[in-house]
Structure 1
Amino acid sequence: MSKILSKSLVIAVLFITVFSTSLWGFNVAGRGFLDSFYSSLQLLVLEADFDGIASPLNWQLEFARFVLPLFTILAIISFLTAYLVRQSHFFKVSQTIPNNIFWCR
């Protein structure tokens, strides 16, 4: 198995585990499945709605509300890094071979 595939698999398993934990936490708090799913998705973008949940949140929600946004932040950092690396390679090639026209996809 390649290194990139195994890294992606580990990240996917971690995401599914944390997302399932948030579903479990909202379900324990008394919400239905669809409401729990929607609220878990809101945790990814830092707009979670904790109205109607008892003041001390259960450990599942405490864990998920701190870990799930990290996946969003890491995805943005990964995208920006890949983009900047690609642009730097293009810049290096364009500087090493002057007077050429490059067709980009």
Structure 2
Amino acid sequence: MAVKLHANFSLNHQIFHRKPTMVRKNKACSSLPSLKTTSGPLLSVREVAELDNCSEKTVRRAIATGLLEVIRVGPGGRLVRIDPAAHRAYRRAHRE
């Protein structure tokens, strides 16, 4: 016995199960130093949050608004790392 599927099943299936075709670019990534000119080991979002005594969500919000410059690494630029010099600049500009 054949099961009748909804007419839009194949369209919905394609929309929700397709692979991403492009990587979203972050505005803060446009003028980043090359990896050879970083001032020490790169920091993760978690490490920056611990240094600033705030949540990871706060750090990600600063990245999304372009206040904190990041370096995207890994396949598709999915992983985020912060140069210590960029972190110091952010801290100087946004002291509370």
User: Which TM-score applies when normalising by structure 1?
Assistant: 0.24
Greater helix share, 1 or 2?
A: 1
Structure number, greater radius of gyration:
1
Greater strand share, 1 or 2?
A: 2
User: Which TM-score applies when normalising by structure 2?
Assistant: 0.26
